[in-house]
Amino acid sequence: MADLPFVRALPFTTMEVIGEPVNVGTVNRLTFALPFGVTFRFDEVVTEWVENERIAYRAISGWAMRAEAVLKPEDGGTCFRFTLHYRFPGLWKLTPHWLMELGCRQGLENLRKMIETKSKKEEMENAHPAELH
């Protein structure tokens, strides 16, 4: 959660972290570079931070937004809950809700793949040579 992999997993997105390590007050600058040269840029600030459990943040420019990501042990695994509340400015208000939902779902799927790949890689790196097949 410290490197905000969910955001990096979102389609068409780049992120610049302004201030590390992540903690309350850390500012991130995100740019969504969409097809046809359309961009949407905003800054957000971390408002709550509990390492490996929860991060909450809100936009401080570009749009009205607040979000949180929560990790919770569940049934031998981990439940990841992401909540987003937003209101677009100007012509961006015409963006259909289904498109935002699609982008979030794609970001979550990309995140799942990133975590699974990293987990498998770490298992291989930490495995005893006799365990490798």
SS3 18: strand
Q: What is the pLDDT of residues 3-20, one digit of tens each?
A: 555 556 666 666 666 666
Q: What letter represents residue 124's amino acid?
A: M
CA dist 101 and 110 (Å) reads: 14
Whole-number average pLDDT of the chain: 80
Give the pLDDT score at 12.
64
Mean pLDDT of 42-47: 90
Closest CA to 30 of 82, 54, 65, 55: 65
More confident residue, 15 or 68: 68
Q: To which H or E segment does residue 5 belong? A: helix 5-9
Domain ranges of the chain: 5-125
pLDDT at 49: 93
DSSP codes joined into one string, 71-104 = EEEETTEEEEEEEEEEE--GGGGGS-HHHHHHHH
Could you tell me the pLDDT band of residue 30, with boundaries at 50, 70 and 90? confident
Strand, helix or coil for residue 54:
strand
pLDDT tens string 80-125: 898 989 888 888 788 888 888 887 888 788 878 887 887 777 666 7
Distance in angstroms (rounded) separating the CA atoms of residues 119 and 117: 5
What is the pLDDT, as a whole number, of residue 19? 62
Domain 5-125 has CATH 3.40.50.300: no
Contact between 15 and 21 under an 8 Å Cβ cutoff? The reply is: no
